[in-house]
Amino acid sequence: MNDERLYHVLRGQHVTEKTALQAENSNLQVFKVDTTATKSEIKKAIQTIFEVDVTNVRTVNVKGKTKTFSRRVGKRNAWKKAYVTLAEGQSIGDEQNP
């Protein structure tokens, strides 16, 4: 996998109240990723970009919701998210990694 692909795999960090609690309690980070990305590509991208050790990657395909806009039916895009477990003592963010 080339370096350019690494930067296209990760779309951004998915931040909600639930994911913030998981990050504090169980060292788990959640990312929006490319729908064609594999677990090994996600792991390699996070290890390379953030310089942390990844122990586990789980992925979920999220279906797009159907929405109604004043008599018209539309659909949001489907997307993929990855639950990434970091090694003990590792973190992603403003803090310095040990």
pLDDT higher than 90, residue 94 = no
Listed by start position, the domains of the chain span: 3-86
pTM across the whole model: 0.84
3-86 is classed CATH 3.30.70.330: yes
pLDDT at 95: 53
Q: Check: CB of residue 85 under 8 Å from CB of residue 56.
A: yes
Measured CA to CA in angstroms, residue 55 lies from 70, 91, 97 at distances of 47, 12, 16
Amino acid identity at 97: N
pLDDT tens-digit map of 23-71: 888 889 999 999 999 999 999 999 999 999 999 999 999 999 999 988 9
Spatial distance between the Cα atoms of 91 and 63, rounded to a whole number of angstroms: 29
3-state secondary structure of 48: helix
